[in-house]
């Protein structure tokens, strides 16, 4: 009973932990630390997102021009290079529009078995660590409908959409025995079986950029909040000095 409560508590505190507690092998498991000041990375991530993800996953809390203003992408640049959708009249979507796509829930359900979720808040619900590994965790599995499985999201309904960049990798397994004596297969490494257009390092970098973009989208005010927070603390410290000096001045004659 206590153990169950601990798992629930852990799941609330660390969203990724619940998956690990589920027992299936999680691989890869590399660290990522997003630099909130790195606008260039976020711009590259936005480009990858618009090209490879937007068709299935909308970002319906964001507007194109707001993302542009935050990341330093001009409206013209946005319109010419990053907007690929059209509105109901068949005209190119306006830069002031919300970042939705044209896929209906019914189509998504039929094509993938699950509707591809909106990814506006995924960096918060799943965390950047999970995303970074999930997007690098696709491996060949002929038994799956799209020929790939994922080391972080077992039996995922999403195809490996970045296969032309990463190429294909196969998983190497090791048999592990848990404390109760049950044997299971655990992924311990990947091996490249088909080259993509990027090297492994370049692909990791591209995924870092993509995750940085999703992290920004999930909380556009993060950087502002940090700056305002620092300003407020500095103000309070200055005020403390003043208030203390004033207090000394007032009480000087009393003692």
The answer to whether residue 53 forms part of the interface with ligand HEC (CB under 6 A) is yes
Cis peptide before 138 (omega within 30 of 0): no
Q: Give bridge partners of residue 170 from the DSSP assignment.
A: 191
**For the chain, where are the alpha helices, taking DSSP H only?**
2-13, 15-21, 39-52, 64-71, 75-77, 105-112, 122-125, 128-134, 163-166, 200-218, 222-251
Give me the least distance between CB of 211 and ligand HEC, in Å please: 8
Find the part of the chain contacting ligand HEC (CB under 6 A) among 21-29, 90-98, 157-165, 195-203: 157-165
Find the part of the chain contacting ligand HEC (CB under 6 A) among 21-29, 59-67, 156-164, 227-235: 156-164
| Contact criterion met (CB below 8 Å) for 78 and 97 | no
Q: Which of 122, 152, 168, 171 binds ligand HEC (CB under 6 A)?
A: 122
Give me the least distance between CB of 49 and ligand HEC, in Å please: 6
Q: Select 31 or 178, whichever has its Cβ closest to ligand HEC.
A: 31
The answer to whether residue 45 forms part of the interface with ligand HEC (CB under 6 A) is no
User: In this structure, is the dihedral angle defined by the CA atoms of residues 154, 155, 157 and 162, taken in order, positive or negative?
Assistant: positive
Query: Which two tokens mark 4?
Result: 């169950």
Give me the least distance between CB of 160 and ligand HEC, in Å please: 9
**Sites of contact with ligand HEC (CB under 6 A):** 52-53, 55-57, 112, 114, 116-117, 119, 122, 126, 131, 134-135, 156-159, 161-162, 210
């Amino acid at each position: 009973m206590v153990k169950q409560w601990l798992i629930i508590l852990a799941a609330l505190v660390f969203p990724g932990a619940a998956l690990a507690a589920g027992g299936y092998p999680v691989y890869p498991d590399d660290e990522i630390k997003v630099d909130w000041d790195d606008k260039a990375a976020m711009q590259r991530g936005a480009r990858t997102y618009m090209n490879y993800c937007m068709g299935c996953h909308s970002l319906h809390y964001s507007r194109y021009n707001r993302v542009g203003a935050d990341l330093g992408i001009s409206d013209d640049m946005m319109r010419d290079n990053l907007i690929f959708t059209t509105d109901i009249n068949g005209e190119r979507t306006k830069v002031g529009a919300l970042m939705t796509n044209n896929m209906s829930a019914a189509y998504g359900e039929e094509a993938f078995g699950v509707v591809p979720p909106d990814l506006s808040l995924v960096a918060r619900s799943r965390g950047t660590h999970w995303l970074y590994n999930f997007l690098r965790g696709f491996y060949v599995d002929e038994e799956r409908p799209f020929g790939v499985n994922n080391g972080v999201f077992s039996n995922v309904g999403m195809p490996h959409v970045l296969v032309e960049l990463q190429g294909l990798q196969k998983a190497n397994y090791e048999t592990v025995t848990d404390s109760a004596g049950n044997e299971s297969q655990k992924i311990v490494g990947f091996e490249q079986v088909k080259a993509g257009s990027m090297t492994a390092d370049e692909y990791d970098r591209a995924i870092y950029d993509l995750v940085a973009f999703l992290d920004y989208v999930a909380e556009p005010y993060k950087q502002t909040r940090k700056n305002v927070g620092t300003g407020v603390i500095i103000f309070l410290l200055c005020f403390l000095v003043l208030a203390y000096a004033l207090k000394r001045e007032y009480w000087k004659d009393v003692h």
